[in-house]
Structures are given as C-alpha cells and as structure tokens.
Chains A and B, each alone.
Chain A
Amino acid sequence: MNWQIHLPALALAVPLLGAFVSPVAGLGGRLTRNAWMVLVSMATTAVCILLWQRVIAGGTVVYVMGAEAWNITLPSGLSWPIRIILEVDAFSAFMAVVGSIAALAGAFFSLRFMDKFTGLEKFSALFFLLVTGMLGMQLTGDLFNFFVFLEIASVASFGLIAFWRDRPEAVEASFKYMVVSTISAMFVLIAVGFFYGRYNAVNIAAVARMLHMGYAEKIALVFIVVSLAMKCGAVPMHMWTPDAYAEAPAGVTCLLVAVSQASLYGLFRVCFSLYGVSLGSTVVPWTIIVMGVLSMFIGVTMAVIQKEMKRLMAYHSVSQIGYILMALGVGLLSLKDPQAMADYGFTAMKGGIFHIINYTMYKGLLFLTAGAVFYSAGTRNLNELGGLARLMPQTTFMFVIAAAAIAGLPPFNGFVSKLLIYQSTFAVYPLLAVAALVTSVLTLASFVKVFQTAFLGPAKKTFEKVTEVPASMLLGMSVLTIVIVALTLFPGWTLSHLVEPAAKALVDQAGYISAVMGGGL
C-alpha cells in the first residue's frame, strides 16, 4: 500500500501533532523547542508540496476519515456521503502549498524574534494550531468541517494576536478580531444549518449536486459571503485588519496573511463549487467586484497616510485582497457564458489566483522586514526611523524586492498578476482597470515613502548600535525572497503549472462533485 494516499490526512496530522507536542518539547529547553518548530514546519511544507504533486499528477484526491478504506466516499451503496471527507483539488492543494510556505517562513523568523519573551512553548503550540486550522479550511470537503477549522484557526489567532498581553493595544486588537470572527463563524454555522435543513447533507459536493436556488439557498449565500468577506478583511468590514496585523508578532502576521487567504478560499469554493452556474443573476459577482474595488481603493488611501510601518502594510493587505476579490469576481461573472469565459473570465481567474501566491509571499516578506526593523531599531514609527540601509543591508535588500513586487514594477511577479487583472477587467468595465491602476500607483507611492524615510537618509544617533538581525530571521525572510525571485524569473512556468490547474479546478464544478459522488450522476 502506498503511503502517499494518506497525504491529505497527514497535512492536518503533522501540524496538529506539532501543536500538542510543543509543550513537551519546550521542557527540553530552548534548543529542543526550536528544533521541533523547524522540524514540524518543514515537514508540513514537504507534505503539502507532495500532496500538490499528487493532485497535479492524478487529479482530485479524496480522503475519507473513519471509514474502512480511505476512498469509500459512499459507503454501502448509499447515495449520499456520511463521513468526514477531505477533498483536495488543484486549487486547494495550491492554497495549501502557499499557506505552508508562509508558515515555514514565519516559523524560522519567530525562533529568534520571540526570544526575549516567555511562554514560547505555548506560542509554538498556538502557531501550529493556526497552521492546522488554515490547512483544514483549505483541504476539507465538508461545510461543517470548514466551520470547525475556521474556529480552530480563529481561536489560535486570538491567542497569538494578544500574545504580548502586557500591551493594551494587542489585547484591544485581539478583542476586535475576536468579535468579528466569532460573528462570522456563527454566520457560517447558520448557513450550514440552512443547507442541512434543505438537503440533509453538509458535504459540499453532495449539496452542490442537489442544489437548486430558492429562498433558503439565497439566505445561506448571503450569510456565507458576508461572513467570509468579513474574515478576509474586505472593505466594509475591514476595521479589524490593521489592528490585528499590526499588533501581532511579525512571524504570526506573516501566517495571518495566509490564513485570511483561507477564508478567501472558502468564499470562492462556495461560490464556484457549491453554487456554480446556479448563482443565476449577476448580483453576487458584482457584489464581490464592487467589494474588491472599494477594498483596493479605500485600503490604499488609508495606507498612504499611516505613520506606523506595520499598520501601513496592513492597510495594503486590505487593498491587495481587493485585487483578488475583483479578479475572481470577474471570473464568477463570466461563469455562465463560455465565450466570455474564454475571452476574459479565465484570464481574470488566472490573474487572481496568481495574485494569491504573489500577495502571500511579498506581503509576508514585508511584514517580516517590518518585524526585523522593530527587532533591531525598537520602533515602528516612520517619523523616528531613518538611515537603516547602511546598518541592515540584507533586510533593506529584501524590503526593496518585496516593495517592488507589491507595487507591480515590471520584472517582478506582482506585475505579471496585475497585468492579467488589468487586461481582463478592462474587457468587463474599463473603470475597474483604471481603479486597479490608480491603486497600484498609490501603492508604489506609499512604499517609496517607507523606503525613503526608514532606510535612506542620514544615519541617526539613536540607531548607532543597530545591527543586522540574527541569521535565523534572515533565513525566514530569504525563504520568501527566494519564492518571489523564482516567481519573477519563471512566470510562464508558474502560470502553466501552478496557476492554470488551480483555475481550471475552480471552474470545473462537475469534476469537484463527481470526485465524491462518483461518475455518471
């Protein structure tokens, strides 16, 4: 028997084991704890990459928890699935790879960054619980299971955001995030209730096969779109994002960025795979597009006026989420019409999905560099920083790469995905592309400001003793830098091998259903 069939379960089991063994490993002292953290995060990344390879090679992978065999989705000839099923298609596997790389970088970075603080075994336990929750949301094929993993991820992140609990701001940010994400989790649960009441099933594929639009489905859709947009920080509900991202320790923020992508994943999984063409009207796609445009524009305008480095970057996450929402909203808009799909819809989806990996990588890197500046210089206030380029050359170098990528300067990966988004949204409505371009310009402006005030300029007396950050933090940052450089150098390979299968899997509703429900139905 091939052990690789258990990869979907391993992707959840490895970080979960990592979480619960962390306190034990913490007993062995600092070295054991750090070794355990590195080991588990590397193993998780390896499992996710293997899983992705398997999905690309052999199509959608299903894994049934608690059955006699791993692949019996419909036991004893029943026509509906009754067990917990993990369903991994190319899009989920892609998201899992992206998330696990961000987690790896965050783990490396946190080894030394958190060194000054106590309770680190709890920190690594929560860190891996957050990874488990994120991967669970991305790999599950079951709506209720999605809710459970959403709650696991949320509860772990409350603890991590408030980790510096002697800082009032951190507790305040955690409380805000907690109110928002508990409400959104309850909305998801209510939506699950609606689906269960209508179809006696909570499996996404089973519900999708039986779905026909009625009032209950529309209410459930509203609940899900509102709650998951709230969780990923789209504009009308974005107030928690800057607080939580700015107050969490930098290694955690890097991971939180990836976790917000998991909510985004859930949103699009529901829209594309659960509802698909039966979304019917253009109301939902346009809601998502408008939300995206607002997020882009409001996020970036708020970012320009910020004086605190991490808060500024956090507002940029709101604006980058807007790009992804807009692109995938355009994809959703053209779902019914094969001609429109071929003309611009598929390009938009490729752009959006490519932007997911780009965004996670460079935004994670930016937060890590901000954390490195905070670690060395002791402040994140742009009015106090200055002249760090001479003192921290490696960090400066990586900041420049990440800033160029997020601003979409031509050779970098951000440019490729943004170009795809401009092209495709222009075909739908030119104003969308204009909004995206203006946002991009403002993004560049605000990062020029950060670079100029924090890294350039005359050396300041207060920062005389500032040195480059320790090697393990540089290692965490270089993981993301290497990915960005690779994506920059090989955009063609990335688009055809990484992004296109994911976009195809997202559009292919029938394939998603038949992987669980069997063919010919």
Chain B
Amino acid sequence: MTGNAPFLVVGIIFFLGMYAILFERNLIKIAIGITLLEASANLLLIVLGFRTGGTIPIFTLAGGTRTMVLPTPQALTLTAIVIGLATSALLLSLVILLYRHYGTLDVREIRRLRG
C-alpha cells in the first residue's frame, strides 16, 4: 500500500491542477493550475523510475549495491522541467500583457473573442 502512495500524490496534484484550470477565474490561478499539472507529470515519471533501495544511476559511484534507480525517467524529467519553465515564463508574460490590455485578471471579463 505504501508503495503506491506516491502515485496517489500524483493523482491528487493532477486533479488539483485540473480543478484550478477548469474552475478558477483568476488568470494567475489558472497559471498555477498548469504548473501543478506539470509537477504531477514530472513526479509520475520520477516515481516510475524509482526502485526501492536503489542508488544513483552512475556506475562508478554506485558502490557495492546492485540496485539503481532508472536513469531514463530522470533525463526525461529534466527535459520536461526545462520545457515547463519556458512555458510558465511565457504564460506569465502573456498574463502581464492581458492585464495591461484589459485591466483585469478575471477570465469572465477577458472575452472579446466569442461566437
């Protein structure tokens, strides 16, 4: 049971993020929801690569133990974090531009495009 706890956390973070994106009305909170979603995806990858009792996946530093955590998800996660950083920065800069144009962060008032 405790072995599955990390996946539970991934699920909770994922649904928190989705909730924020779908139901929050403040643009900043929507941006936070998106970063939560990114965090849950990254955590999922890391948890998938974890092996109980494993050491760092560097052959010369592993010492006597034979179990190592998987290196590939860590490489994937690093890439995903970097991409996530870029998207978050761009997202927030768009929020700033929107605030300048509309003078509000409420999604109900930022809807000049409709129909």
Contacts and interface: CB of A to CB of B under 8 A. Distances in A.
Contacts of A169: 112-113
A158 B90 contact: yes
Given A155-B90, A168-B101, A169-B113, A182 B41 contact: no
B90 A193 contact: no
Contact of B44 (A151, A179, A190, A200): A190
Interface string A468-505: 00000000000000000000000000000000000000
A178 interface: yes
Contact of A171 (B45, B76, B94, B111): B94
Interface SS, A side:
helix
Interface string B63-98: 000000010110010011001001100110011011
A196 B45 contact: yes
Interface residues of A, number: 38
Given A179-B21, A183-B37, A190-B41, A168 B102 contact: yes
A217 interface: no
A401 to B, nearest CB: 29
A162 interface: yes
A179 B33 CA distance: 10
A202 to B, nearest CB: 8
A101 B86 CA distance: 29
Contacts of B86: 155
A355 to B, nearest CB: 27
Nearest to B31: A179
Interface string A188-200: 0110110011001
Interface string B12-31: 00100000010000010010
B110 interface: yes
A242 B94 CA distance: 19
Given A169-B113, A196-B48, A179 B30 contact: yes
Given A168-B101, A172-B113, A178 B44 contact: no
A227 B87 CA distance: 17
Interface in A270-285: none
Contact of B97 (A155, A165, A182): A165
A151 B87 contact: yes
Contacts of B37: 182-183, 186
B112 A186 contact: no
Interface of A: 144, 147-148, 151, 154-155, 158-159, 162, 165, 168-169, 171-176, 178-179, 182-183, 185-186, 189-190, 192-193, 196-197, 200, 202, 242-243, 246-247, 305-306
**6 closest cross-chain pairs (CB), A and B:** A168-B101, A197-B48, A189-B41, A193-B44, A243-B113, A171-B97
Given A169-B112, A175-B98, 4 more contacts: A186-B38, A189-B80, A193-B48, A196-B76
10 contacts: A144-B76, A147-B80, A151-B87, A155-B83, A168-B98, A178-B94, A193-B44, A193-B48, A246-B113, A247-B113
